[in-house]
Structure 1
Amino acid sequence: MTDRFQPRRGTFVFDGDCAFCTSTVNALSRFVAPDVDYLPWQRADLARLSLTADQVEGQVWWLHPDETSAGGARAFTRLMRRGRWPWPVLGRLAELRPVVPLAVWAYRWVARNRHRLPGGTPACAVDRAQDDRRPPS
């Protein structure tokens, strides 16, 4: 029997080595969803989280005991739904079928360009080939 970790509440798994990701998570924890656990994947027991290094190196992840795990844009919409007003409304809107492609595109654009965004460093760059292998979020 595998000892699978089940978070007690929502857990947002991110790249703790990326300065842009870390500053974004600091803002999210302060202004959007303070009652969520934010976990750098470098400090996580990925096997217990049922995640792989390939999964977490390419995108953020949302884990919750009552939901299916989600990565990328879907992870952000689930995080927003746990936030303070107006974030839950925006999270639900971003999950509407006509909006999903835009949310996925925006997430992927930010992920590919995070090393160029405020707070980003060259160490924040994501391998383009790895990004292109990821399934749509």
Structure 2
Amino acid sequence: MERPILVYDGDCGICTKAVRLVGDTAKADGRRLRVPADPEVVAFQDADLAALGTTAERAAYEVLWIEDGRVHGGAQAVARLLIEAGGCWRPLGLLGRVPPFRWAAHGLYRLIANNRHRLPGGTPACALPAAERPGAR
């Protein structure tokens, strides 16, 4: 089985800070979400998205968890990550996969994603439509 891949918007400060809890940088400072599957964490701007089975528009719109050829996006990507992390995170991830919690997770994810340019750590690139962001093809 291949390593899962976590794809995020590398131009977004909030996204970058969030994935640092999972990626190699977090391993160095000890503050990380322990994910036994050890996902490869890559900014969509640096990824071969066609080979991963997705597009720049989708990757700019939501974080992606790619595993076994399946692409999970947004709240479902976060749920997959939490399930893989195990421990106390697993039940939270499992809840995020079933209605009505799935619907609530999606709504919360979209609320944050649609307003990330207004949140601390947001960047001007976050405010641009997906097709106009740096790296969009």
Provide the TM-score with structure 2 as the length reference.
Answer: 0.79
SS of the equivalent of 2:6 reads: strand
Distance 2:71 2:125 in 1: 27
Amino acid at match of 1:24: A
The Cα RMSD (Å) is 2.3
- Partner letter of residue 15 of structure 2? C
2:17 match: 23
Contact 1:60 1:71 in 2 (8 A): yes
1:69 to 71, 76, 79: 71
Q: Return the offset for 1:125.
A: 2.1
TM (normalized to structure 1)? 0.79
For structure 2, the 5+ residue unaligned runs are 24-31, 133-137
SS in 1 for 2:42: strand
1:126 Cα deviation after fit: 4.9
Cα pair 1:62 1:71 within 8 Å, conserved: yes
Q: Is the 8 A contact 1:112 1:126 kept in 2?
A: no
Partner of 1:9: 3
How far residue 63 of structure 1 moved from its aligned partner, in angstroms, is 0.5
5+ residue gaps, structure 1 = 1-6, 131-137
Structure 1 runs, 4 residues or longer, greater than 6 Å off:
none
The DSSP-based 3-state class of the residue aligned with 1:39 is strand
Aligned pairs (5 A) from 1:1-137 = 8-29=2-23, 30-33=32-35, 35-65=38-68, 68-127=70-129
Distance 2:129 2:46 in 1: 21
Shift of 1:108: 0.1
> 2-side partners of 1:99 and 1:126: how far apart?
29
Give, as a single letter, the amino acid of the residue that structure 2 aligns with 1:27.
L
**Aligned residue pair count:** 123
Secondary structure (helix, strand or coil) at the match of 2:21 reads: helix
Conserved? CA contact 2:54–2:71, under 8 Å:
no
Give the Å deviation of 1:84. Answer: 3.9
